[in-house]
């Protein structure tokens, strides 16, 4: 931001996206990025808890891209402005896993309970950590005002994501019939 200010020819604007979700477009993408891999795990009936019980704050990658484009095109942003790109919904990892079954019932996939990954010294403070996260207030009114971006409902992104992992990524969900 300082360099941009000194130059006077351009602005530095920060766009902080939350947890990028959405469809993959190439098979190798299923192996990279924590969120793609975590959804793949859920399809395989492995639902790991997030570190320190952090909820998901999902934003569809397509909405995130539209935010970046909108900020580049906007005449209402100033050097040093910072924006949050994403919806404000917080979801527990177990709820995400259960939603896959609701948006892709044709998979008949086995919904698993979230798996505890924390050592005992963190588990004893679970409620404290969850309480901290419940107090987190993610706001996106500013970015919507300057870009006009409307964020996709998570269920739409999750359906597209799951379908792409199966059709493009070759993931074979663990079916309740198996």
Dmax (CA) of the chain: 64
Average pLDDT over residues 29-50: 84
Residue 54 has what pLDDT?
Answer: 92
Residue 178 has what pLDDT?
Answer: 52
Question: Class of the 2-167 domain?
Answer: alpha beta
Q: pTM of this prediction?
A: 0.84
Query: How far is 146 from 155, CA to CA, in rounded Å?
Result: 25
Average pLDDT over residues 157-164: 93
CA angle 24, 146, 157 (to 5 degrees): 20
Residue 76 has what pLDDT?
Answer: 92
SS3 of 69, please?
helix
pLDDT in tens, 61-79: 999 999 999 999 999 999 9
> Judging by DSSP bridges, how do beta strands 58-60 and 19-21 pair with one another?
parallel
Average pLDDT over residues 117-123: 95
Whether residue 128 is predicted with pLDDT greater than 90 in this model: the reply is yes
118: pLDDT confidence band, cut at 50, 70 and 90?
A: very high
What residue segments make up the domains of the chain, in order of their start?
A: 2-167
């Amino acid at each position: 931001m300082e360099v941009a200010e000194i130059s006077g020819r351009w602005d530095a604007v920060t766009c902080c996206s939350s947890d990028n979700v959405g469809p993959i477009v190439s098979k190798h993408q299923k192996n990279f990025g924590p969120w793609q891999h975590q959804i793949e795990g859920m399809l395989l009936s492995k639902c790991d808890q997030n570190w320190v019980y952090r909820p998901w704050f999902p934003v569809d990658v397509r909405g995130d891209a539209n935010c970046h484009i909108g900020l580049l095109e906007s005449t209402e942003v100033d050097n040093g402005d910072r924006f949050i790109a994403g919806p404000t919904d917080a979801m527990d990892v177990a709820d995400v896993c259960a939603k896959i079954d609701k948006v892709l019932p044709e998979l008949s996939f086995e919904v698993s309970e979230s798996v505890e990954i924390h050592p005992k010294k963190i588990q004893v403070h679970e409620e404290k950590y969850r309480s901290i996260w419940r107090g987190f207030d993610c706001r996106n009114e500013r970015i919507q005002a300057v870009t006009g971006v409307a964020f996709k409902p998570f269920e739409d992104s999750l359906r597209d994501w799951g379908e792409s992992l199966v059709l493009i990524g070759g993931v074979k969900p663990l079916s309740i019939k198996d």
